[in-house]
């Protein structure tokens, strides 16, 4: 009998686990990585709840030669090691190095990275989640068959009717939504504050 499939949470990188570079710029080296407070704790909590964590990130800077591939790999290796030191396991980081014009299958909003991870690690996409800070991330999750959480400090003005993401302020505040720890509207909701999620996490820890 084949082994059961595993559920996962896919995370965008910039804006989800670390702060973004200024508009129009790229994170080029490890020294430019600054983790978002609560991100490591959120990953550790999801690990304990039985989810494997994967990062899926568009890295167009490789194609435009603004970022060196060796520096990107160093950044990703260090991210995994830093998270592991806090008891937070990121199983693998997938990246798309292509430019928009290349029309590859891996660049979000396409779901190639999620589907590759599912093949590599026997993941059940139907019970998995995508967490990102743009509708591009939500679309990739939707195309892969996952549920999604959109990270937004303020409710978006417009969400296309085909999308039905939950909305949270941060990865930390997305955890109760993923684990259904809070009594919230199951359609389009917003975690009202970091304190809401922290109180939910404390009650379950």
The reply to whether 134 falls in a domain is yes
CA distance 122 to 130: 16
Read off the pLDDT of residues 65-118 as tens digits, 9 standing for 90 and up.
Answer: 999 999 999 999 999 999 999 999 999 999 999 999 999 999 999 999 999 999
CATH of the domain at 150: 3.40.50.1000
CA distance 151 to 114: 18
The reply to whether 31 falls in a domain is yes
Catalytic residues: 12, 14
The parent domain of residue 103 ranges over 8-204
Antiparallel, parallel or unpaired: β 52-58 and 8-11: parallel
Count of helices and strands (H, E) across the chain: 7, 6
Model pLDDT, residue 5: 83
The reply to whether 3 falls in a domain is no
The reply to whether 66 falls in a domain is yes
Closest-CA residue to 133 (of 150, 154, 155, 153): 150
Torsion of CA 42, 47, 52, 53, to 10 degrees: 20
The reply to whether 102 falls in a domain is yes
The reply to whether 1 falls in a domain is no
Q: Domains in the chain: how many in total?
A: 1
Model pLDDT, residue 165: 66
All residue ranges of the chain with pLDDT < 50 are 1, 161, 183-205
- pTM here is 0.85
Model pLDDT, residue 3: 63
Alpha carbon 184 to its chain's center: 21
User: Would you report the helix, strand and coil content of the chain in percent, each value rounded to 5?
Assistant: 40, 20, 45
CA distance 21 to 80: 19
């Amino acid at each position: 009998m084949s082994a059961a499939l595993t559920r996962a949470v896919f995370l965008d990188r910039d804006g989800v686990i670390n702060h973004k570079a200024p508009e129009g710029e790229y994170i080029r080296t490890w020294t430019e990585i600054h983790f978002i407070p609560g991100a490591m704790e959120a990953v550790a909590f999801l690990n304990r709840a039985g989810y494997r964590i994967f990062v899926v990130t568009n890295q167009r800077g490789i194609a435009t030669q603004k970022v060196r591939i060796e520096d990107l790999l160093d950044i990703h290796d260090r991210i995994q090691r830093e998270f592991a030191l806090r008891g937070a396991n990121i199983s693998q980081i997938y990246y798309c190095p292509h430019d928009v014009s290349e029309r590859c299958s891996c660049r979000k909003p396409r779901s190639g990275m999620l589907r590759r991870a599912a093949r590599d690690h026997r993941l059940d996409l139907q019970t998995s989640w995508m967490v990102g800070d743009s509708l591009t991330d939500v679309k990739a999750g939707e195309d892969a068959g996952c549920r999604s959480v959109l990270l937004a400090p303020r409710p978006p003005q417009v969400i296309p009717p085909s999308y039905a993401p939950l909305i949270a302020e941060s990865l930390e505040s997305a955890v109760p939504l993923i684990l259904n720890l809070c009594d919230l509207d199951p359609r389009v909701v917003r975690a009202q504050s970091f304190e809401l999620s922290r109180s939910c996490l404390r009650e379950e820890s």
